[in-house]
Amino acid sequence: MKDKLLGKINIRSIIQHFLAAFIVLILIFSMMGTDITIDGVDGEISYPIRDADRARVYEESYLFNNILGNNISQVLRLVAQRSQLETGGEYDGNKVIDVTAYVNRGSVMLGGYITAHYKLSDLLKWAQNGFETERKHMTAEECADFLAPNTTYTHLKNNVVSGGMNSYLSSQLDDNSITSVKEGSGEFSEGDYEILSSRYATVDGKNIEDIVSSWDEYETLSQSVQSASVALLSNYTEYGRGIEYYSNDNSNLKYLVTRTINGKTEVYSNIPNISSAYDSNATLEKFKSYGKYIYYCPNELSYETNTLIKETVLRSIIKNYSYAYPDQIKIYVGVDTNEYKCNDDFTQGRTGFSRYIPFRSQLYLVLALFIFLYILLLIISLAQIPVITDLSENRIFTEGIVLKGLSIIAVPVIITYLVVTTYTGNLEKLYENPIVLILTGIGVFIADMGLLDLIYGLTRKGKSGLLWKDSLIKKMSFGARDLVVSTTNNASVIIRLWIPYAIYVVINILLILLGIPGIITAVILDVIVGLLIYRQTLDRDKIIHVIENIQKGDVSAKVDTDNLHGDNIGLAEAVNSIGDGIKKAVDTSMKDEKLKADLITNVSHDIKTPLTSIINYVDLIKREKIDNERVKEYVDVLELKSQKLKQLTEDLVDVAKITSGNISINLQKTDFVELVNQTIGEFYEKLEDNKLTPIFKYEEQGMSITADPHHLWRVVDNLLNNVCKYALSGTRVYMDMKYVQGKDNKKKVEFSIKNISSSELNIDVSELTERFIRGDASRTTEGSGLGLSIAKNLTVAQGGTFEIKLDGDLFKVVIAFEAV
Amino acid sequence: MENILVCDDDKEIVDAIEIYLEQEGFRIYKAYDGIEALEVLKSAKIQLAIVDVMMPRMDGIHLVRELRKFSTIPVVFLSAKSEDSDKILGLNIGADDYITKPFNPLELVARVKSNLRRFMTLGSLEDKENVYSTGGLVIDDNSKECFVYGESIKLTPIEYNILAFLVKNKGKVYSINQIYEQIWKDSAVCADNTIAVHIRHIREKIEINPKDPKYLKVVWGVGYKIEDEVI
């Protein structure tokens, strides 16, 4: 059953892992799909795909037009470069470059200017090899000798600055320049001069110093030569790539640019064999046949296109290369959307576009469905996780589950991180690789395994209520706590109390040092600690109150543990259980006493009946005439002992009743003096018989106490009986009654009775009031030995105190009651 | 010659009581439980019954209840139970006297006689001037004599004066000093136990059991009194 269930979960988990992998892949798709990276001529360019494109075909999309716009820009740049480097549509190394006009190709030059004409190939080589300069010290004569005596100026015959023409274009016209010579000043000063090594000469075979007559002019022309060379070299490099990239074989983009300067038309195109057979209308028709086309002629103000590219876009591009594009140009651009023969930007764009866009909404639907399914499976699995019932089995720590899950998740995450951080190329491109996608899927699969393992493991623990119980933190913290407790339990109060207090004070001081926020925190902390201490004290008070009640005798008093906190609950429970224990003990002992009393009473009754017969028949024997004196003696012993037995049983019942609390006590105001006098009266003969003289002294008449008169009489009666039995014959018995101040500052009446014992008092005071203990250990004399015990118990039962004092043969009993 | 029923489940006690009472000239009927006793009471003319409380078949309490339905003869309870509550219960259900075991044979005989005399002479006491009485105790102030159920008691003059004063004011409690002032017509400088000794002497003369007095009672811590209503 368990295995089956686990099997189910496993299959379900595998499904979940797959779902997770798909979800992540779809997310990557949808994220990556928003950008298409195309490897253009200038390197990779990322194109965003707009939502508006979703409803369009590729050729109508913004994406397509973005690509087109970029490509047009590139092509027009290429054409501008071609115009610099080509003659008749081919690279011409012999092309003559007017360096000053070239350097200033963006602006108009008026009047004459100093320039030098070099072969294009010479300039390019010069730039490639680098310019060498030499610092030379020259005297004035040497300077005059080095530089030309005259400066050669070049003038453009036809320097057209209208119709999009400029000085640069004019300079390129054949036979459009004349030179004039202006005499230099011839004044030179001796000094150090920077001389450019003349690697190449101009087309006329001249060097720079042959053209200029001053150092300033030399400097300017030298700079122009260097600048022109570097710029041309840069363009030449780019030009090579552009020609290749936008060749007819490599690009679906076709272009044709014509430019007419002074009636002479140049054609720049990537379509082979079209230059010679150029015809305006035929060309336009041809470009239209490509699918997407643009035709632009600034001079005719005509702009024609079936793309989204606007004229302004084209115009702004042309403006960047205005030196190359006069008004008399015609630009034809077409994209062969019929075949996409070449793997260029457009083809890449189409691939990207077709890969993502058409399924995007469906993709989202699938994504939502997968997520729903995943969550559904998760919920079902969570619901079906069994509770751990066998607590004896070895369980791993909660942290172990977390660690296991996290480490499984970590593997793909770390790999992904490493790949992402180390891979320098475009990540979107990376994801176009199917192997990467599969690897990603596997990674997510593994990560999901770890995640589900973690979730299910924790849920299982949580359901079984073991989440915290099984945690290592708990075990460690409890261990630490136990350690602290075990060490502090044995530690002195100083360690237990003063160290936390010292830490508290230090925290306070530190907080106060932190300034206003610290002080506020300290105040809040102090208030909280104060409230906690207050709560603690309240709890303690409750417990102490109950302890006091128990002490007073209310053993059923209980602490209500509901409103207590922390350690006090344990303390309260301990107090409650102590109370319970005492109550139980008291109840048991009371029950036992009652049972004992009942037992003694019942036994006494059972003794009394046969005793009646004994007493009666002994009496009857005595009434018979007995001649034998010894028999008479024996009968006397029998009579004496049977009477003693009678007394003993009665005393026993009394003691049992008193000690078990089975007597009723009616307290009332009692004249103690009167009572003692009455009792002495009762004992008068008996005392006289024993040759004892009672002497009773009292402070005043009517010294009254609160007592039960009948019981009080029993006390005094027993004391006097005791005196009669044990006092030394012929002595006086002193009785005193006086007021005393009790320990609790209450006025008391104290009655003492003292006599000289006839026999040695070889006994402990406390034993005298114990049952069956008498002053003499022999127990031969009359009396049950219960007299003092009864007297003491009765006195205490009435709220008095009973004390026996022995001093040699002096026997003294002191009883005291609260005075009225 | 009066007929007396002695009923106790202890045969020896019954026999002993029989011996004592026959010596005094009574005729004894014996029974050993409540049922037997009831039969005897119904069949013979019994003047007094001595009944044990705890007996098999029918106990003393039930027996007395049954007896009181047809007879008013004095009943003396005999019991090992010495608690006050036991005594009160016995007297309340109709017993006339209560003797606890083990008893003094002489006391038993005296009580039997006293109860019989009370029963026989009930209502025959004449009201005379200067004659005061409570229960069987009579003080004749004319002759300065004292009687208990007609038996003359010899008292000293002081004893007579004390007893006469208390009987004349029966039911009232007098302290030692008050009695002293009454008798000696002098203020008591300091009370001592003289009166208490006299009281004890009186009690020994008029009471059957001085330790359990019927007439002259001690109110401990207050004084002494003559019981107003003596059973």
Residue A59: pLDDT over 80: yes
Of the candidates B81, B196, B220, which has its C-beta nearest A680's C-beta? Answer: B196
Residues of B in contact with A712 (CB under 8 A): 220-221
More confident: A227 or A328: A227
Could you tell me the pLDDT band of residue A372, with boundaries at 50, 70 and 90? Answer: very high
pLDDT at B189: 62
Q: What are phi and psi of B67, to 5 degrees?
A: -60, -40
Residues of A in contact with B19 (CB under 8 A): 620
Using the beta-carbon criterion (under 8 Å), do A682 and B105 form an inter-chain contact? Answer: no
Q: Which stretch of A29-33, A429-433, B176-180 has the lowest confidence by average pLDDT?
A: A29-33
How far apart CA A650 and CA B69 sit, in angstroms, is 35
Residue A4: pLDDT over 50: no
pLDDT at B6: 92
pLDDT at A2: 42
Q: What is the 3-state secondary structure (H, E, C) of chain B?
A: CCEEEEECCCHHHHHHHHHHHHHCCCEEEEECCHHHHHHHHHHCCCCEEEEECCCCCCCHHHHHHHHCCCCCCCEEEEECCCCHHHHHHHHHCCCCEEEECCCCHHHHHHHHHHHHHHHHHCCCCCCCCCEEEECCEEEECCCCEEEECCEEECCCHHHHHHHHHHHHCCCCCECHHHHHHHHHCCCCCCCCCHHHHHHHHHHHHHCCCCCCCCCEEEECCCEEEECCCCC
Using the beta-carbon criterion (under 8 Å), do B221 and A609 form an inter-chain contact? Answer: no
Q: Which stretch of A277-281, A345-349, B181-185 has the lowest confidence by average pLDDT?
A: A277-281
Chain B residues near any Cβ of chain A (below 8 Å): 10, 12-13, 16-17, 19-20, 80-82, 100-105, 175-177, 190-200, 218-224
pLDDT at A734: 92
How far apart CA A195 and CA B39 sit, in angstroms, is 174
Using the beta-carbon criterion (under 8 Å), do A613 and B12 form an inter-chain contact? Answer: yes
More confident: A551 or A530: A530
Could you tell me the pLDDT band of residue A562, with boundaries at 50, 70 and 90? Answer: confident
pTM over the 0.95 mark:
no
Could you tell me the pLDDT band of residue A9, with boundaries at 50, 70 and 90? Answer: low
Residue A779: pLDDT over 80: no
Roughly what angle, to the nearest 10 degrees, separates helices B60-67 and B84-92?
Answer: 20
HSE-CB at A405 with a 13 A cutoff on CA atoms is 16
Residue A780: pLDDT over 50: no
Could you tell me the pLDDT band of residue B7, with boundaries at 50, 70 and 90? Answer: very high
Percent of chain A with pLDDT over 90: 2
How far apart CA B63 and CA B46 sit, in angstroms, is 14
pLDDT at A469: 78
Q: Which amino acid is at B37?
A: A
| C-alpha distance from A586 to closest chain B C-alpha (Å) | 27
Could you tell me the pLDDT band of residue A7, with boundaries at 50, 70 and 90? Answer: very low
Could you tell me the pLDDT band of residue A164, with boundaries at 50, 70 and 90? Answer: low
Q: Per residue in A618-674, pLDDT tens?
A: 888 888 888 888 888 888 888 888 888 888 888 888 877 777 777 788 888 888 888
Of the candidates A616, A670, A696, which has its C-beta nearest B105's C-beta? Answer: A616
Whether this model's ipTM surpasses 0.90 comes out as: no
pLDDT at A487: 66
Q: What is the 3-state secondary structure (H, E, C) of A393-413?
A: CCCCCHHHHHHHHHHHHHHHH
More confident: A428 or B6: B6
What is the chain B residue with the closest CA to A601?
B81
pLDDT at A752: 92
Q: Per residue in A166-194, pLDDT tens?
A: 778 777 777 777 888 888 777 788 888 88
Residue A777: pLDDT over 60: no
pLDDT at A184: 78
The residue among B202, B220, B222 with the most chain A CBs within 10 A of its CB, best to mutate, is: B220
How far apart CA A215 and CA B47 sit, in angstroms, is 181
Q: Per residue in A412-445, pLDDT tens?
A: 889 888 888 887 766 666 766 778 888 888 888 8
Average pLDDT, chain A: 82
Q: What is the mean pLDDT of residues A448-459?
A: 86
Residue A691: pLDDT over 80: yes
Residues of B in contact with A685 (CB under 8 A): 200
Q: Per residue in A590-601, pLDDT tens?
A: 888 778 778 877
pLDDT at A136: 85
Residue A261: pLDDT over 80: no
Residue A682: pLDDT over 70: yes
Using the beta-carbon criterion (under 8 Å), do A613 and B176 form an inter-chain contact? Answer: no
Query: Both tokens of residue B207?
Result: 């009471």
Closest by CA to A197, choosing from A141, A136, A120, A118, is A136
Q: What is the mean pLDDT of residues A399-407?
A: 87
Residues of B in contact with A696 (CB under 8 A): 192-193
Residue A349: pLDDT over 60: yes
